[in-house]
């Protein structure tokens, strides 16, 4: 069965979504995705079918990790080399894996592969196709990205090799789209050193009596204090531009906190997220909560620290460490703090 895409509607959607770029630069969030695209379908020479413009619509879900899934419908109205119209309807299910983003340029590259089928109205067999390729996303804000995509499409039965190049706008629903800072965000984890317990010596009461030999005064020995190893020192971790996922290269730093918690069963940790005052207060509150929770999730899910011992909270811009009167100070205020509490015997 052939579906007829309303091409003008797709183009209007792209133009309308692109207008949202005036909000601010940010990175897309987890949620459901809708991606209208326009592109070029390059046919294998053996098909005897002319290359033509293609229109597609992708519906998917972006997980809170590098992976995303997407169902894509593509339509191309082409012509046979000898004349006659050829209507192409392609359906495919793809998986996308996102590589580390280039924060300075706000770009996120990705790899993609999938399986599907295509229906050619000129009577070609409706064969299974596999595709592989990748692309690049440029985030306008936390919910809208410009997306360039290239795929090689192989007909596994007739061995036709097509390729599709497209440009679209990916819109993500389910996250927040408030304004954010346009500068890279640097997060810092710090823990205060454990303070030794100070036990005052008991005062010795002296009583005047008749001049007799006074018994020697024996001071009570101070109580034995259990020595607890100091928590990890200062840990510096950076997030990508308005991103909330923790890059793998910082896991060894977080593992230091996990090791301390495991070696000290009575200890707990509170992960606090803070931002500067750039952008909206609502967005800053949301991003601080998500970043703090991301660190907490790494501790509990990756390093298997009991969830009852790990808590997280976001304070947004409410608790600056210094005044937000310079870029250097704003960078200091964009931080995450891990506060470890220990219970001594």
Q: Using the 8-state DSSP alphabet, how is residue 19 labeled? A: G
Q: Which two tokens stand for residue 13?
A: 């959607």
Q: pLDDT 10s per residue in the chain (345 long)?
A: 444 444 554 445 445 444 433 333 334 568 899 999 999 999 988 888 889 999 999 999 998 788 999 999 999 988 887 778 888 999 999 999 998 877 567 788 999 999 999 888 877 667 899 999 999 999 887 788 999 999 999 988 888 899 999 999 999 987 543 333 333 333 444 444 444 444 444 444 444 444 545 455 444 444 333 334 455 555 567 666 577 778 888 888 889 899 999 999 889 999 888 888 888 888 889 988 998 898 999 999 999 999 999 999 999 899 898 998 888 888 888 888 888 888 654
CATH number for the segment(s) 7-173 = 2.40.160.20
Domain with CATH 3.30.1330.60 in the chain: 186-194+227-341
Report the C-alpha gap between 291 and 284 in whole angstroms. Answer: 11
Q: So what's the pLDDT on residue 10?
A: 46
Q: What is the pTM of this model?
A: 0.51
**319, 278 in Cβ contact below 8 A?**
no
Domain 186-194+227-341 has CATH 3.20.20.120: no
φ, ψ (nearest 5 deg) of residue 78: -115, -170
Report the C-alpha gap between 154 and 90 in whole angstroms. Answer: 12
Q: Which two tokens stand for residue 153?
A: 């499409």
């Amino acid at each position: 069965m052939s579906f007829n895409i309303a091409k003008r509607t797709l183009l209007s959607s792209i133009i309308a979504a692109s207008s949202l770029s005036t909000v601010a630069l940010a990175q897309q969030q987890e949620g459901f995705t809708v991606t209208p695209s326009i592109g070029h379908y390059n046919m294998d020479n053996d098909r005897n079918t002319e290359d033509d413009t293609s229109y597609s619509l992708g519906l998917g879900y972006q997980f809170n990790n590098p992976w995303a899934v997407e169902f894509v419908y593509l339509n191309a109205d082409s012509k046979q080399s000898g004349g006659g119209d050829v209507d192409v309807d392609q359906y495919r299910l793809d998986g996308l894996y996102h590589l580390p983003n280039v924060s300075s340029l706000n770009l996120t590259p990705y790899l993609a592969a999938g399986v599907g089928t295509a229906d050619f109205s000129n009577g070609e067999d409706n064969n299974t196709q596999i595709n592989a390729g990748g692309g690049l996303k440029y985030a306008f804000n936390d919910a809208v990205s410009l997306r360039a995509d290239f795929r090689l499409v192989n007909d596994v039965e007739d061995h036709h090799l097509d390729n599709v190049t497209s440009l679209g706008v990916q819109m993500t629903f389910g996250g927040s789209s408030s304004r954010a800072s346009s500068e890279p965000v640097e997060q810092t984890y710090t823990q205060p050193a454990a303070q030794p317990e100070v036990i005052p010596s008991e005062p010795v009461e002296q009583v005047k009596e008749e001049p007799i030999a006074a018994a020697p005064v024996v001071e009570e020995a101070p109580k034995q204090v259990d020595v607890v190893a100091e928590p990890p020192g200062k840990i510096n971790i950076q997030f990508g531009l308005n991103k909330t996922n923790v890059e793998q290269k910082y896991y060894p730093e977080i593992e230091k906190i996990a090791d301390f918690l495991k070696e000290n069963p009575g200890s707990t940790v509170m992960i606090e997220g803070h931002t500067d005052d750039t952008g909206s207060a609502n967005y800053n509150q949301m991003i601080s909560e998500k970043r703090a929770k991301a660190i907490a999730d790494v501790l509990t899910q990756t390093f298997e620290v009991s969830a009852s011992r790990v808590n997280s909270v976001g304070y947004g811009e409410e608790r600056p460490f210094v005044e937000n009167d310079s870029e250097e100070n704003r960078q200091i205020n964009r931080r995450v703090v891990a506060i470890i509490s220990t219970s001594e015997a």
